[in-house]
Chain A
């Protein structure tokens, strides 16, 4: 980035905001860490795209502990960052606490849920169950053993939401396919324990699973590695993880956190707040990843079925039940 670029970009932004104080957006990553090859990395990619396109710059912090959440929010708000974009459901309650103290700052949260959204907060959520449903279908069609696996990170409703959509997708192809579901743990350390991820994957393989969907942040790295070692297929999550083990990762359930972050930063101070935004298949917020690394694994028949299901979900013909609807999953017991 040359100085000239930066200067022009700044000038343009200044012109747009017409005299209002120039505010840099800020981005707070959740405990999984900025480079988890998954959820947080997607957020980083979105911010990076915004920075490259507009020539702007943003502030960022990687949280190291639960206690830093409120501190980080306050510090960015005090420093005049606007909007403050956050990732992860766990920071939502801290935002609820902090937001009223800084009415001029806009906060964005991805994945969280608040019963009452404060005026200066935008909540973004994704229809992960819809995307998971599609990869579940692909898993069921790719499985030869009749058993597929699901490995979640921390045992929270959000991850059950992933698992539940996946299970419904699997069952839609064949009622008799067995699904083995495991969670890595109950503390945030569960997002970063590839050793346990590997062990869980091995346990599932020994129970016959030949496709495993990992929705576990950094732990998923271990799952994908073991799946590649044991010569079975895996499914990545959030970011496109197909390239991690070419030819061994069936697909990735994309969650376009990057787009959400990009849009929020682009809107800047004009961001609509006090509302929630839900991004599903129709909005391209979730989907399946196809590239040269997995094209040999996905048959035309599979692709056609996924496309058809996608359309049906958008049209409302297929109703993928959300785990949140009544905190339970109709086809899978966790």
Chain B
């Protein structure tokens, strides 16, 4: 295996990990504030559709991305309303949002474009074009560093860099700001936060809405960065893998990055090599596809340290009983 092959696999890893990472950080904000969100998949899907549809109509990918984020925010607000204000079951609400998105996207797409629940293919400015970083061409001939910079770091679409930047930003917000402290506290012990005179409801809404923005970016990246248009159910379970990554990462931003990169790498290897010949036996591609789930189960079973969720996760807060 030469350097070029490794770089190509890693390049593919970055592309595959980006939507997972954005969705995983989205879930992190929500769950750290005590709101379970299994509707990540649905929000990504809705955003993917509106990003592609509006990008197609306006011809500008950024307006599309904005529309995608908007649709995801709307679904987040519904989730907030159901699970915070009306204290409904958070799992059911999340599931309902996913089902709503799966049905509505296809229905609206059929009504707008009559292409069988898909958007027309995007061209030109309606797609995120790869960004070539400064000096990428000049550095390319330099051994080792050149190809790494040119192939791996440069040449992704803007949202990839946004996603990776979101990791330190998330860490800083959660662990270095007053808002972050309160947000974490509301997921551990909402009564204490309330006693301190801070609104639990407001904090949880803020967390759920941040989750909406990040899910929106993930969906927009799928439809206008990786693909050139929306196709029915195009998220293909990535929202759930992001949830698995979140548990794997024990609800921590940097670990989330590692978990998503690991899951991305597993997918990239599975994509590149159909079956891996280890000499003694052949590792089938199905095993690679299943590994993210297997790893999550292993983590949950407590073999690799303990994954402790925020204490007040899934519980609604009632001021007086």
Binding site for B on A (CB under 8 A): 33-37, 41, 155, 181-183, 185-186, 189, 192-196, 198-200, 202-203, 206-207, 218, 221-222, 225, 229, 244, 334
Most buried by A among B117, B118, B236, B289: B236
Within 8 A of A (CB), among B214-273: 222, 226-229, 231-234, 236-237, 267-268, 271-272
- Verify B12–A202 contact, CB threshold 8 A: yes
Q: Which of B116, B118, B121, B236 has a CB less than 8 Å from the CB of A196? A: B236
Let me know if B12 and A33 touch, CB within 8 A: no
| Bound CA span A225–B115, Å | 17
* Residue from A35, A193, A207 having most chain B Cβ neighbours under 10 A: A35
Q: Report the Cα distance A203→B15, complex, angstroms.
A: 12
CA distance A222 to B225 in the complex (A): 12
The listed residue with most B CB atoms (<10 A of its CB), out of A194, A229, A244, is A194
> What is the bound-complex CA distance between A33 and B110, given in angstroms?
13
Assembled-state Cα–Cα distance A200/B270 (Å):
9
**Which of A33, A192, A195, A199 neighbours the largest number of chain B CB atoms within 10 Å of its CB?**
A195
> Is the pair B222, A195 in contact by a Cβ cutoff of 8 Å?
yes
Decide if B16 is an interface residue (CB 8 Å cutoff): yes
B195 within 8 A of A: no
B118 with A181: CB separation less than 8 A? no
User: What are 23 A-to-B residue pairs whose CB atoms are below 8 Å?
Assistant: A33-B116, A34-B116, A35-B115, A35-B117, A36-B116, A181-B274, A185-B289, A186-B289, A192-B232, A192-B233, A192-B236, A193-B236, A194-B231, A194-B234, A195-B19, A195-B226, A196-B271, A199-B267, A200-B271, A203-B271, A206-B8, A225-B121, A244-B121
The answer to whether the Cβ of B308 comes within 8 Å of any Cβ in the partner chain is no
A200 vs B237: C-alpha distance in the bound complex, in angstroms?
Answer: 17
14 further A-B contacts with Cβ under 8 Å, apart from A195-B222, A206-B8, are: A33-B116, A34-B116, A35-B116, A35-B117, A183-B274, A189-B233, A189-B237, A193-B234, A198-B226, A203-B271, A206-B5, A218-B231, A218-B232, A225-B228
Q: How far is the CB of B16 from chain A (nearest CB, A)?
A: 6
Q: Are B274 and A182 in touch, CB under 8 angstroms? A: yes
Counting from the closest, the 7 A-B pairs by CB-CB distance are A35-B116, A193-B236, A206-B8, A203-B272, A203-B271, A189-B236, A199-B271
Chain B positions within 8 Å of A199 at CB level: 12, 15-16, 267-268, 271
CB-CB under 8 A for A35 and B12, given A186-B289, A222-B227: no
Q: A199-B12, A222-B227 are in contact. Are A186 and B271 (CB under 8 A)?
A: no
Chain B contacts for A41, CB-based, 8 A: 116
**A229 partner residues in chain B, CB cutoff 8 A:** 228
List the B side residues contacting A194 at CB < 8 Å.
Answer: 227, 231, 234
Residues of B contacting A35 in the complex (Cβ-Cβ under 8 angstroms): 115-118
Chain A positions within 8 Å of B237 at CB level: 189
A218 to chain B, nearest CB (A): 6
How many Å lie between the Cα of A199 and that of B267 in the bound state?
Answer: 10
Residue of A nearest to B228 (CB): A225
* B274 proximity list for chain A (CB < 8 A): 181-183, 334
Once the chains are docked, how many angstroms separate the CA of A229 from the CA of B124?
11
Residue of A nearest to B236 (CB): A193
CA distance A206 to B11 in the complex (A): 11
Which residue of the partner chain B has the closest CB to A33? Answer: B232
- Our pick among A155, A182, A244 for the contact of B271 (Cβ within 8 Å) is A182
CB distance from B272 to the nearest CB of A (A): 5
Which residues of chain A have C-beta atoms less than 8 A from B234's C-beta?
192-195
Is B82 an interface position by the 8 A CB rule?
no
Cβ-closest chain A residue relative to B285: A183
Cβ contact within 8 Å between A195 and B271: no
Q: How far is the CA of A155 from the CA of B236 in the complex (A)?
A: 16
Nearest CB on B from A31, distance (A): 10
B274 CB to closest chain A CB (Å) equals: 6
- Docked CA distance A206–B117 (Å): 32
Q: Which residues of B contact A200 (CB under 8 A)?
A: 271
Tell me which residues from 1 to 16 in chain B have a Cβ below 8 Å from any Cβ of chain A. 5, 8, 12, 15-16
What are the residues of chain B within 8 A of A225 when measuring CB–CB? 121, 227-229
Name the interface residues of B282-304: CB closer than 8 Å to any CB of A. Answer: 285-286, 289
CB A155 to nearest CB in B, in angstroms, measures 8
In the complex, chain B residues whose CB is within 8 Å of the CB of A181: 274
What separation, in Å, do the CA atoms of A202 and B228 have in the docked complex?
15
Residues of B within 8 A of A195 (CB): 19, 222, 226-227, 234, 236
Rounded to whole Å, the gap between the CB of A167 and the closest CB of chain B is 14
> In the assembled complex, which residues on chain B have CB atoms less than 8 Å from the CB atom of A221?
118, 231
What's the least CB distance linking B93 to chain A, in Å? 21
Q: How far is the CA of A225 from the CA of B229 in the complex (A)?
A: 10
Chain A residues, Cβ within 8 Å of B271 = 182, 196, 199-200, 203
Out of A33, A186, A196, which one reaches B117, CB within 8 Å? A33
- Give Cα distance in the complex from A228 to B118, angstroms: 19
Report Cα–Cα, A218/B229, bound state, in Å.
12
Please, which residues of chain A bring their CB within 8 A of the CB of B15?
A: 199
Q: A33-B116, A182-B271 are in contact. Are A203 and B231 (CB under 8 A)?
A: no
Hey, which chain B residues are within 8 Å of A198, CB to CB?
226-227
Q: Determine whether the beta carbon of B286 is less than 8 Å from that of A186.
A: yes
Name the A residues within 8 Å of B121 (CB-CB).
225, 244
Residues of chain A within 8 A (CB-CB) of B116 are 33-37, 41
| Residues in A whose Cβ lies below 8 Å from that of B228 | 225, 229
Residues of A contacting B267 in the complex (Cβ-Cβ under 8 angstroms):
196, 199
CB distance from B113 to the nearest CB of A (A): 11
Chain A hits for B232, CB < 8 A? 33, 192, 218
Q: Which residue of A lies closest to B48 (CB)?
A: A195
**A34 contacts which chain B residues (CB < 8 A)?**
116
Kindly list chain A residues whose C-beta atoms are within 8 Å of the C-beta of B5. Answer: 206
